[in-house]
Amino acid sequence: AFSNSRRDLLLSSAGVAAASQIALPQGAFAEEFFSSQWEKVDLPVEEGVILLDIAFVPDDPLHGFLLGTRQTVLETKDGGKTWENFYLGSLEEEGLNYRFNSISFNGNEGFIIGKPAILYHTTDGGANWERVPLSARLPGDPQLITAIDGKGGAELITNQGAIYATSNAARTWKAAVEETVDATLNRTVSSGISGASYYTGSFATVNRADDGSYVGVSTRGNFYMTWEPGQTFWQPHNRASSRRIQNMGWRNDGGLWLIARGGELYFGEGDGVSEDFEQQRIGARGFGILDVGFRTDNEVWASGGSGSLLKSVDGGKKWKREKGLDGLAGNLYTVKFADKNTGFVLGNDGILLRYLPGSSA
């Protein structure tokens, strides 16, 4: 197992003064307020780092981890107000530049996955992480991991739609689907799925519902696919808009949301999987919308390009732009709420916005 020994990213003490313009800060702090509901948190990361996922330890809700490109792993112990670099282990010797994609906790047990294929496991709330080997024959790159029961259970999905479950902390895995997206599309290419062609099957984005269902968007945005527990194969679906799909996910009520390119937002009818969608009047001013996150059943946030952040308080019927973020130079890729008081927006160039509890009715 690897214990945490934080790497000193600063220059030697003798050179700190001369290099003060380029040295990275040892810790991170809230830089400034952009709105009454969000603050931008300064992070000790290099320019160009894209933040990819964030998670908090349920048994210690102020303790969390933030992942990104260039082997970025940051830790907070105050609910995300400040962050410091976290050292998982000696990866530089391998000559690979890992991209940590996904982190998930259940109780004190947690998992981290990345690309190229890499996996870490903890049983003590992230104080210590053990690297667990992943098979080189894994179809595709690990994209999302979910800690299931706090007793060694987890579920892993790759960008080729391979779903695997483990009950012994990733020592062995059992396939949940019989074929990858490639194989499904090759078998169903004549079934009327627009844009599905031979050997084009991989996911640009994939999201998991609380009941274990998945929705994945094809890399070209031509169509989407769904899978529910107990199904043998992925189910392909035509897109609802003439514009290509940017991202899809699940609402709090179990229904689907869909983002099309050009800032279009759609909600699926009813709960569960649907091919019938209703467009929402979001008013994105032509900026692309990239993600949707639910703080409560009624309060919804949508993030996008050029610092776009929009809010709805009626479940997505009407939206209002956070004008205080208009000057933010960056794309906001992910909106994630651990609970109604703990929320973050993740972007490029190390942009992290923290939700301010008590700022919403």
Kindly report, residue by residue over 21-65, the tens digit of the pLDDT.
333 344 454 445 458 899 999 999 999 999 999 999 999 999 999
pLDDT at 282: 92
Residues facing residue 164 across a β-bridge? 156, 175
Is the pLDDT assigned to residue 188 strictly greater than 80? no
SS3 187: helix
pTM over 0.75: yes
pLDDT at 326: 79
Is the pLDDT assigned to residue 318 strictly greater than 90? yes
Question: For the chain, how many helices (H) and strands (E)?
Answer: 1, 30
Q: Which residue has the higher pLDDT, 178 or 192?
A: 178
Q: Give CA–CA dist 184/186, Å, rounded.
A: 5
pLDDT at 193: 60
Is the pLDDT assigned to residue 197 strictly greater than 90? no
CA nearest neighbour of 145 among 80, 61, 53: 53
Q: Are 214 and 157 in contact (CB under 8 A)?
A: yes
State phi, psi for 323 to the nearest 5 degrees: -65, -25
Is the pLDDT assigned to residue 12 strictly greater than 70? no
CA nearest neighbour of 176 among 140, 230, 136: 230
pLDDT at 16: 30
Kindly report, residue by residue over 61-77, the tens digit of the pLDDT.
999 999 999 999 999 99
pLDDT at 107: 97
